[in-house]
Structure 1
Amino acid sequence: MATVQSTIKPCLWFHDNAEEAMNFYVGLFPDSHVDGIDRYPDESLDEHYKGMAGKVINGRFTLAGMEFVCLDGGPAFTFNEAISFTVACADQAEIDRYWQALSAVPESEQCGWCKDKYGVSWQILPANLGELLTGPAAIQALMGMQKIVIADLQAATDAS
């Protein structure tokens, strides 16, 4: 799959572990790689660089063909559920694999949403979710799930 060249790229602000996160993500998703890392210069150059020498000021990486940028920006901002990344999965095995790798905050899990160890929110969904939600019973089943189980959605539809 070719890299999507776009003028818009998501930027992820990490406290101080951008490089670790990039390596984790590119190891998880196919067609992924770190494209480059620029590091903060010597902290004597500007007060904003204090304590950041050697950290990532501009990280560039590709996940499943989509370009991202990131940085170590300190604790001023944190991730929240207002932004999430959706992973459209081909089957239950793929859902299970991504869920196992990404879900790190059990209290954040609902309806296929999870949060990883860096605080980033993900939606791990079957690619055909729209086809699986064919009626009220399937929607009710979904609302009771943390990780989505395709067979349970199908069973709810078949039972109604």
Structure 2
Amino acid sequence: MPKVSTCLWFGTDAEEAVRLYVSLVPDSRIDHIQRAPAPWPGGEAGEVIMIQFTLGGQGFQALNGGKPENYGNAASISVDCADQAEVDRLWAALTADGGQAIMCGWLRDRWGVPWQIVPEIMPRLLADPDPAVAKRAFDAMVTMVKLDVAALEKAAAG
């Protein structure tokens, strides 16, 4: 595990969430599952208390903390997607079973964790040397929920 990693707080189903996450993002794996050696405030002996995992090459932790927390929008997991197919695949999996689409490529999965599902062309369009191209791409993005690569390219082209 790296010296610094993000820890995600779950009620009791951190393992289920982590197994979904690592199944969706390349270069991901579960590195270690820590089970409680004795009863604890959040559960019983043998239950998962902490999972160390790698998501897209980045270290994370997941904690079963008992009462679920509200994540807010101050932090999110951002995934750069190669194309629309990857955007669509991740969007469908993460909004399934109670996940919620937000706007501009943001969503919350069924555990309330915020994600940004961003086609890799989006930052390039927003950084285009022609300010008019960047503005058209931005203006299109802010009208979208799930980002649409073809619509973004069309908007950028004018």
Deviations 1:6-31 (A, max 9, x none): 21111111111011111111111122
SS at match of 1:135: helix
The CA distance in 1 between the partners of 2:109 and 2:65, in whole Å, is 19
C-alpha deviations, 1:14-49, integer Å up to 9, x for none?
A: 111011111111111122211111112322xxxxx1
- Aligned residue for 2:130? none
Map residues 131-146 of structure 1 onto 2, 5 A cutoff: 131-133=124-126, 134-146=133-145
Task: Among all aligned residue pairs of Structure 1 and Structure 2, give the percentage whose two residues are the same amino acid.
Answer: 43
Instruction: Report the Cα offset of residue 89 of structure 1.
Output: 0.9
**How far apart in 2 are the matches of 1:157 and 1:27?**
33
Further displaced range: 119-128 or 75-84? 75-84
Shift of 1:124: 0.6
Match of 2:103 in 1: 110
Instruction: Report the aligned-residue RMSD.
Output: 1.7
In structure 1, the residue matched to 2:10 is 14
Shift of 1:97: 1.1
Is the 8 Å Cα contact of residues 81 and 118 (structure 2) preserved in structure 1? yes
- Provide the TM-score with structure 2 as the length reference: 0.85
Q: 1:52 aligns with which of 43, 51, 60?
A: 43
Opposite residue 78 of structure 1, the aligned amino acid is: N
C-alpha distance in structure 1 between counterparts of 2:69 and 2:21, whole Å: 20
Distance 2:57 2:68 in 1: 30
**Equivalent position to 1:80, from 72, 77, 80:** 72
Q: 1:140 to 1:35 in 2, by over 3 A?
A: same
Picking from 31, 35, 41, the partner of 1:35 is 31
Q: CA deviation at 1:140?
A: 1.5
Matched, 1:24 2:16: no
Q: Which amino acid in the other structure matches residue 85 of structure 2?
A: A
Q: Is the 8 A contact 1:112 1:125 kept in 2?
A: yes
The count of corresponding residues between Structure 1 and Structure 2 is: 148
Unaligned stretches of 5+ in structure 2?
127-132
The separation in 1 between residues aligned to 2:88 and 2:42, in whole angstroms, is 39
User: Where does structure 1 differ by over 6 angstroms across 4 or more consecutive aligned residues?
Assistant: none
